[in-house]
Structure 1
Amino acid sequence: MEYKKTKEVLNQMVADLSQMSMVIHQTHWYMRGPGFLNLHPLMDTYMAEIDGQLDEVSERLITLDGAPYSTLKEMTDNTKIKDKKGNYELTIEEHLENLVENYRYLADLYQKGIDIAGEEEDSVSEDLCVGFKTAIEKRIWMVQAQLGKAPEIDK
């Protein structure tokens, strides 16, 4: 089977995970205020998680005889995660709310991957997306808890 739609959604993930890594870097670099000492190093963990997902998605795409985006131009031309200039004026809460918004987008993208891989009977890509969606939903829960909010996963 060719897995055409699965390869397309996996490449979308490549672009979006690359952008998400930069969003987390930006949060890491531009945060100031109460909670900094705990949250700043936590962003390293978040970046490593996203970078790991990016690598696995890219390798799965290659396994399906696809070609992952591999230039900054391809990433910026294809990502659907908004590009925002770094800003020291944002509160830590505002930075975290931006992370949640983008994590929610990734959870929806992984759901799309689950659905498409299921339709094309690619159980390996489907399973990959299920695992990553689970991890992303956990991040949403944790960041929302830091913000004093419920996870609101179905939002």
Structure 2
Amino acid sequence: MAKLHKTRNDLGANAKKASVEVLNATLVDTIDLTNAVRMAHWTVKGPQFIGLHELFGGFYDALGKTTDDIAERCVQLGGTPEGTTQAIGAGTRIAPYPADLTDGLAHVAALAERYAALAATVRAGIDTTDEAGDADTADLLTGLSRQLDKNLWMLEAHLA
């Protein structure tokens, strides 16, 4: 964990440290998921092409805004966001995305696995930040959790 920068934010030092750690882990995973969704958006083929292409485009647009919110919250607490390509590759907890997928439903299944994995770690992060006394970060993560669950539902509906 890098040293925190000075800030006038009155949240306690332990809460800031816990939240910055959770935020950076979540940032890394969310950027990795965003890249997986982009890969699916770019390479999807098959009879459901246009519907999935548009669905995936909406997913990565939403994830892009979310990563910005996560990174900015990290800075607000005195942290430094870990958003470099090297940090993503070294720190992601998301399974590598298969680069050879083209089939629409194969992409849907691969993304559903990754959405579910990120949702689980985000829920753990909600608990960690809430227990540390950082209700604002817990709230940010709660919003992300809802977004992930909704998108997972949409993916799973294609697999039913």
TM-score above 0.5: yes
Match of 1:108 among 120, 124, 128: 120
Structure 1 residues 18-49: Cα deviation after superposition (integer angstroms, max 9, x where no partner): 11111001111121101101111221110011
Runs (4+) of structure 1 exceeding 3 A deviation are none
Query: Does the residue aligned with 1:5 lie in a helix, a strand or coil?
Result: helix
Q: Distance in 2 between matches of 1:40 and 1:108?
A: 26
Q: Distance in 1 between matches of 2:30 and 2:149?
A: 15
Contact 1:110 1:132 in 2 (8 A): yes
Identity of aligned residues (%): 29
Letter aligned with residue 106 of structure 1: L
Q: Are 2:151 and 1:139 aligned?
A: yes
Give the aligned partner of residue 6 of structure 1: 19
* TM-score using structure 1 length: 0.90
Letter aligned with residue 22 of structure 1: N
- Unmatched tracts of structure 1, length 5 or more: 149-155
Q: Distance in 2 between matches of 1:26 and 1:75?
A: 16
Q: Structure 1 residue 101: deviation in Å?
A: 0.6
Equivalent residue pairs, number: 147
Give the aligned partner of residue 34 of structure 1: 47
Give the aligned partner of residue 33 of structure 2: 20
Q: Distance in 2 between matches of 1:86 and 1:108?
A: 24
Structure 1 residues 78-105: Cα deviation after superposition (integer angstroms, max 9, x where no partner): 11112234214x4211110111111011
* TM-score using structure 2 length: 0.87
Contact 1:30 1:86 in 2 (8 A): no
